[in-house]
Amino acid sequence: MRAQLIALDWGTTSLRAYKLAEGGKVLEQRSLSSGIMQLPKVPRIIAGRECTDGFELAFDEACSDWLDAQPGLPVIACGMVGSAQGWREAAYRDTPANVATLGTSLQTVRSIRGIDVHIVPGVIQRSRLPNVMRGEETQVLGVLQNLPGEAGEAGGDLLIGLPGSHSKWVEVADGCIVHFDTFMTGEIFAVLSEHSILGRTQQRSATFDGDAFDRGVQVALSADGEIGPLSTLFSARSLGLTGELSATAQADYLSGLLIGHELSALACAQRRRRNSVHLPSIILIGNAQLCARYSRALDACGFARVTLAEQATEHGLWQLALAAGLITLTLSR
């Protein structure tokens, strides 16, 4: 099967490259630790010239053999590569945003090879407390485009979650990203575990302690949790000091506590925004192990319908390339 598109998911710490055939089928993929904050530094000859630019070096390492084998393949990229610190800044587009508005707003940078790299803009939600995303918008659009029939067009009673360092919870309507919330849960967990007194008594374990995690979630959801995480977080230490929580259980307890507070706040916000006691269906995108934790906690919080999406980034980049005219509908059939 012949390739039709090179798609790049280029973030802060990693660069994932996909060679896609018709319909967005992945022919080949690779992952490099060449995110925008840790680009290659060793000069290399590219297109007959010595090159020292980190973005050029990373792009050449990721794609040179694909481009040599099939010259003229279009290239599209999403993620932090389009930030102010990226290869070329792609300005945020306002909500509501869909495949058409983003696909027709790509920024282009010409590589030393003479190849145009088309960069997807991020999305901004303007309000008293603005919210932004880069890369997640592509994943969300990939999920929407692969929902069956009218569900993909409308979004319906659906919330898309992207757990991570900065978890995103995205509301969609009529095929558009209309609202999203960001929780810094993953980064707070890392900071507390590595740079606060809570980490002093933790001992990392190779196995997941589900009981400790569930206990943390339940504390966040209980009357004790109503006072907020700044109070309950100290229990990750005090329960250890009193012998009620082993050193190897403390990290998973803290994880459950933070995720529980995140999802409790999310549930309250969803009920308020929808003016309903019913909670929406959830589609999760991301690392399988982290999504498994969130699925477990979502069930405890009353989100009964949770599914996992696969290949969201690849599907999203394919759809955006179609909208931009980099590939054609006749090729995708």
Tell me which residue of 278, 70, 121, 96 sits closest to 173, measured CA to CA. Answer: 96
pLDDT reported for residue 332: 42
Helix segments in 176-287, DSSP class H: 185-195, 210-221, 229-232, 235-241, 250-274
Q: Same CATH topology for 5-146+312-332 and 183-308?
A: yes
d(CA 79, CA 147): 23
Strands of 123-125's sheet, edge to edge? 93-94, 123-125, 131-133
Q: Which fold has domain 5-146+312-332?
A: Nucleotidyltransferase; domain 5 (3.30.420)
Task: Please state, as a whole number, how many other Cβ atoms lie within 10 Å of the Cβ of residue 104.
Answer: 12
Q: Which residues contact 35 (CB under 8 A, 6 or more apart)?
A: 10, 11, 12, 13, 14, 15, 80
pLDDT reported for residue 331: 41
Residue 300 structure tokens: 């405890």
d(CA 179, CA 103): 19
Per CATH, the architecture of 183-308 is what?
Answer: 2-Layer Sandwich (3.30)
Q: Is 5 helix (H, G, I), strand (E, B) or coil?
A: strand
Domain ranges in the chain are 5-146+312-332, 183-308
d(CA 310, CA 287): 10
Q: Is 244 helix (H, G, I), strand (E, B) or coil?
A: coil
pLDDT reported for residue 137: 98
Task: Report mean pLDDT in 10-residue bins for the chain, 333 residues.
Answer: 96 97 95 97 95 97 96 96 97 97 97 97 97 97 81 68 97 94 98 96 94 98 94 96 96 98 96 91 95 97 92 96 88 42
Q: Which residues contact 273 (CB under 8 A, 6 or more apart)?
A: 171, 179
pTM for the model: 0.92
pLDDT reported for residue 22: 93
Q: How many Cα atoms are found within 13 Å in the side-chain-facing hemisphere of 216?
A: 31
